[in-house]
Structure 1
Amino acid sequence: MDAPIMRSLPQSLEAEQSVIGAMIIDKSAISKALEKLNEEDFYRDGHKAIFKAIREMFSKDMAVDLVTLLEYLKSTDNLDKAGGVTYISEVSSSVITTANLEAYIKIVEDKSTLRKLIKSATQIIEESYNKQDRVEDVIDIAQKKIFDLAEKQGSNEYESLANVLERGFLEIERLFNNKGSITGVGSGIRDLDAKTSGFQKGDMVLIAARPSMGKTTFSLNIAENAALREGKSVVIFSLEMSKEQLAYKLLCSEANVDMLKLRTGNLDDDDWERIARATGPLSKAKIYIDDTAGLSVMEMRSKCRKIKMEHGIDMILIDYLQLMSGSSGSESRQQEVSEISRSIKALAKEMECPVIALSQLSRAPEQRADHRPMLSDLRESGSIEQDADVVMFLYRDEYYNKETEEKNIGECIIAKQRNGPVGTVKMAWIGAHSKFANLELVYKE
């Protein structure tokens, strides 16, 4: 076996010196450097110490020049660590102009990224040796490390409270000036959006119901509204229905065409005209469908990372949770579902978008006089209720009671909402067109 080749890590001490020197002589250079770099991006320990000191001085609104910097380093017992008076003076005097600062910052940033890649690759090699019987875990670790690097390149992990508050006040001001607007991705159902303010980034939203209540239809209506009305990028993982079946449901909903007529080809001229009008916008919508059966969360996460890099992701739909597979190490199906649920919540946080997961309910609601689902119906499904930020149940009384006065009406029961009210929203149910809509559109017989 060949002996390993010893090579030095990627670095450019000259670029690091140029960045630090510019920060010492020009206050505007500090802002530019802090926007892109942190001390860990520097290869030389002395440069890390100098950069950290300048950042601390800048945050305390202290004047930064050679004299004040040396004094600050002395007061914090970091002068020797930073290289001493002579070295820091040389770095400061070596920079005459800050004209090429952005180019130097880019060099430092790129070398730092390469070092992180090498470190990640080394860790991946180590994991590959240590987890030879858990290949999926190793692949997931490898993908996450590379994805995180790509996501974080050029951005700081830390952010001051002042920046967060400033951004928050701007959002509050926007909402004040546009009363009634929502903060998340809208559902298209006004009364529902009024209660939730849309589906929020990082939230796991569970939509649960008994079969034939319209879970898939409702989720596709949400996707349709997000992509066509709001221009969002939506990823749909369909573990039950094929891509073609979902496409037909979307087409019927958007075109207001009877699904049975579409499936049998019994279409009239008006239907064809509606379909033609709907096909254009749907074909341009940023909706991406994956109908891989038995998909695991790990595989789903891998696909989402790729889509996010290429197209961006504003919402993820999963139809439905119980058809997913967990890790092979689960002792029971309940434990497996709990693991899947926790992983879906983690996916929402990682992708920074709402994840809407559909869930099939057990027969418990059938055994009650009132068949409306309750949170207790989820108890046997592991930790789903605890993991979800929002839990919604779908119910149509007409399915159970043919004589009901609530014909063509569906209910969305918000049973849990971590940051908002609970309650029931009534919607129009237009089953022939695969659609839930605002209540005023109820079709009277």
Structure 2
Amino acid sequence: MTDQLNHDLDREAFVFDSVETDAVLSDIASEMSLLGCLLAPGAATANVAALHQAAELVRPVDFYRPANRIIWERLAAMADRGLPIELPALNAELRTAGDLDRVQGTPYLLHLQEQGLTHANATYFAKMVADVAMRRRMYQTSISIGQIARTGKGDMMALVEEADAQWGQVHATDTAAADGVEHFGEDMMADLIDDLASDEDPMGIPTGYADLDALLNGFHPGELIVVAARPGVGKTTLGLNVATHAAKHGHRSLFVSLEMNRKEIGHRILSAQTSVPFFTIRNKMLKEPDWARLASRREEIASWPLIVSHNPAITFPQVKAEIRRQARKGLKIAVVDYLQLLQDPDSKSADSREREVALMTRGLKVLAQQLEIPIVVLCQLNRDSAKREDKRPHVHELRESGAVEQDANVVLLIHREDVYDKESPRSGEADLIVGKSRNGPMSDVTVAFQGHYSRFVDMAPGV
């Protein structure tokens, strides 16, 4: 009777390529024992508590046998409605929902109850079910990646990105919270209170500008930060300054450039860090004091965890793949220079360039959240601000897509009056305009622009 029952139930289970593989990637006995523990006679209240504890470890999709998955989901629904977790109630609920025949009726429920020990053992079996489900996902993902390698078409790095993204899902923590759905109850409340009471510094990745850090508290994990300006105002300089400053303070940083080669990137970093004019470095006009400055900082700068990408033909999937690769090595911040130069050969659903840009900004936002790092993307403004008498830029002037503003946590606009008026009394000054801040105030921060050193710096005290 029992053997026939199990045979009938397992006809619906997942199919793998061999009986041997199937045995490794499923643990029906643990599934049945888990459910049996939750149906322990005379312990309805304790069974509810045991189910909540087990649910921290296992999800419905982790059950190999479909019947067991149906029973788990019904038990969870009963607990949420405050119903007792006991066999008669479960039997009635399954009958009402029309699922009793799908689990081979009451005999199978009685059989499950016989497999359980006590509600106290539920978490033990939940852990076993979750572990074998992880193995199963690893196996299924490896097959899927193999299919991508054998039959995938298009840009190779796009295929790598697709495979990398799939493998990344295997590493995700197997809890309810990993799905982005979590009860705002005592567990979450305790985590929040503990975090508030901890001595951990709430500062994100520092930008290198004191007033900007005071306003935004740095750039935070999961944020998409857009830095925008008209051409020639200094968005590349600011982006490289931010990446370099983060690396200087020990944060692994990635700077992706689609318009500068490795030599120009290096020249800009050296100029900003040693105060040797960029023109002097670029044209190899160094004198003895300049060589001395370079020599005094060479070892320090070389030790910083700053990674640069300087492939002008890099595609959007390749950028994402590189960010993911660096994240596995401890990446803390990524800067992409710049959005309008990026192309996504896989954006087949995009019917316009605006739609393509929208898909890319959304992709960067999701990536920032998945990897829990801030991603800074540099962006051009359209010509509207240049046409006005007041040249001060506005957020709605982001070029090619309103989705850039929509997806960004922070939009930082750069404005320099001396770009438009060489006689401006504010020559050498720049306004960093926080035009959008999802988690803080919006304001202006004034810094000094030292273009000859390829850098922005804090204003001198008292200025």
Q: By how many angstroms is 1:141 displaced?
A: 4.3
Q: Write out per-residue CA displacement over residues 127-171 of structure 1, whole angstroms, 9 at most, x where no aligned residue.
A: 899986798776654442222122345774242212444333344
Alpha carbon RMSD of aligned pairs, Å? 4.2
For 1:225, the equivalent position in structure 2 comes to 245
The answer on whether the counterparts of 2:379 and 2:399 sit within 8 Å (CA) in structure 1 is no
Q: Write out per-residue CA displacement over residues 203-258 of structure 1, whole angstroms, 9 at most, x where no aligned residue.
A: 322211123322122112222332333x4332221111123432343343334443
**TM-score normalized with structure 2 length:** 0.74
Residues 2-401 of structure 1 aligned to structure 2 (within 5 Å)? 7=19, 9=22, 10-17=25-32, 33-48=54-69, 51=72, 69-70=86-87, 72-74=89-91, 76-77=93-94, 81=103, 84=108, 86-93=110-117, 107-120=128-141, 140-152=161-173, 156-157=178-179, 158-162=181-185, 163-174=187-198, 182-229=202-249, 231-263=250-282, 264=284, 266-268=286-288, 272=292, 275-277=295-297, 279-280=299-300, 282-308=301-327, 310-327=328-345, 329=348, 330-378=350-398, 380-381=400-401, 383-401=403-421
Where 2:423 maps in the other structure, the secondary structure is coil
The answer on whether the counterparts of 1:182 and 1:198 sit within 8 Å (CA) in structure 2 is no
The answer on whether the counterparts of 2:247 and 2:253 sit within 8 Å (CA) in structure 1 is yes
Distance 1:76 1:44 in 2: 19
Distance 1:133 1:222 in 2: 34
The answer on whether the counterparts of 1:255 and 1:275 sit within 8 Å (CA) in structure 2 is no
Residues 426 and 51 (structure 1 numbering): CA distance in 2 closer, same or farther, change over 3 Å?
same
Residues 434 and 134 (structure 1 numbering): CA distance in 2 closer, same or farther, change over 3 Å?
closer
Distance 1:203 1:271 in 2: 40
Percent of matched pairs sharing the same residue? 25
Q: By how many angstroms is 1:381 displaced?
A: 4.7
Where 2:259 maps in the other structure, the secondary structure is coil
Where 2:314 maps in the other structure, the secondary structure is coil
Residues 371 and 96 (structure 1 numbering): CA distance in 2 closer, same or farther, change over 3 Å?
closer
Where 1:36 maps in the other structure, the secondary structure is coil
Residues 72 and 394 (structure 1 numbering): CA distance in 2 closer, same or farther, change over 3 Å?
same
Residues 279 and 165 (structure 1 numbering): CA distance in 2 closer, same or farther, change over 3 Å?
farther
Q: Write out per-residue CA displacement over residues 83-104 of structure 1, whole angstroms, 9 at most, x where no aligned residue.
A: 64542343224x8996x986x6
Q: By how many angstroms is 1:425 displaced?
A: 1.0
Distance 1:304 1:415 in 2: 26
Residues 190 and 22 (structure 1 numbering): CA distance in 2 closer, same or farther, change over 3 Å?
farther
Residues 58 and 190 (structure 1 numbering): CA distance in 2 closer, same or farther, change over 3 Å?
farther
- For structure 2, list consecutive stretches of 5 or more residues without a partner in the other structure: 1-15, 41-45
State the one-letter code of the partner of 2:416: R
Residues 83 and 434 (structure 1 numbering): CA distance in 2 closer, same or farther, change over 3 Å?
farther
Distance 1:83 1:136 in 2: 53
The answer on whether the counterparts of 1:296 and 1:326 sit within 8 Å (CA) in structure 2 is yes
Distance 1:195 1:167 in 2: 26
Distance 1:284 1:16 in 2: 51
Give the paired residue count: 426
Residues 298 and 183 (structure 1 numbering): CA distance in 2 closer, same or farther, change over 3 Å?
same
Where 2:313 maps in the other structure, the secondary structure is coil
Q: Write out per-residue CA displacement over residues 53-85 of structure 1, whole angstroms, 9 at most, x where no aligned residue.
A: 77678879999xxxx643553453389648645
State the one-letter code of the partner of 1:315: I
Residues 228 and 73 (structure 1 numbering): CA distance in 2 closer, same or farther, change over 3 Å?
farther
Distance 2:107 2:447 in 1: 69
State the one-letter code of the partner of 1:393: L
For 1:413, the equivalent position in structure 2 comes to 433
**TM-score normalized with structure 1 length:** 0.77
Deviates more, 1:383-392 or 1:295-304: 383-392
Distance 2:441 2:51 in 1: 46
Deviates more, 1:74-83 or 1:156-165: 74-83
Distance 2:295 2:81 in 1: 63
Where 1:247 maps in the other structure, the secondary structure is helix
Q: By how many angstroms is 1:375 displaced?
A: 3.0
Residues 288 and 18 (structure 1 numbering): CA distance in 2 closer, same or farther, change over 3 Å?
farther
Residues 55 and 414 (structure 1 numbering): CA distance in 2 closer, same or farther, change over 3 Å?
same
- For structure 1, list consecutive stretches of 5 or more residues without a partner in the other structure: none
The answer on whether the counterparts of 2:379 and 2:398 sit within 8 Å (CA) in structure 1 is no
The answer on whether the counterparts of 2:357 and 2:400 sit within 8 Å (CA) in structure 1 is no
Residues 315 and 96 (structure 1 numbering): CA distance in 2 closer, same or farther, change over 3 Å?
closer
Deviates more, 1:321-330 or 1:378-387: 378-387
Where 2:311 maps in the other structure, the secondary structure is coil
Q: By how many angstroms is 1:361 displaced?
A: 3.1
The answer on whether the counterparts of 1:294 and 1:323 sit within 8 Å (CA) in structure 2 is no
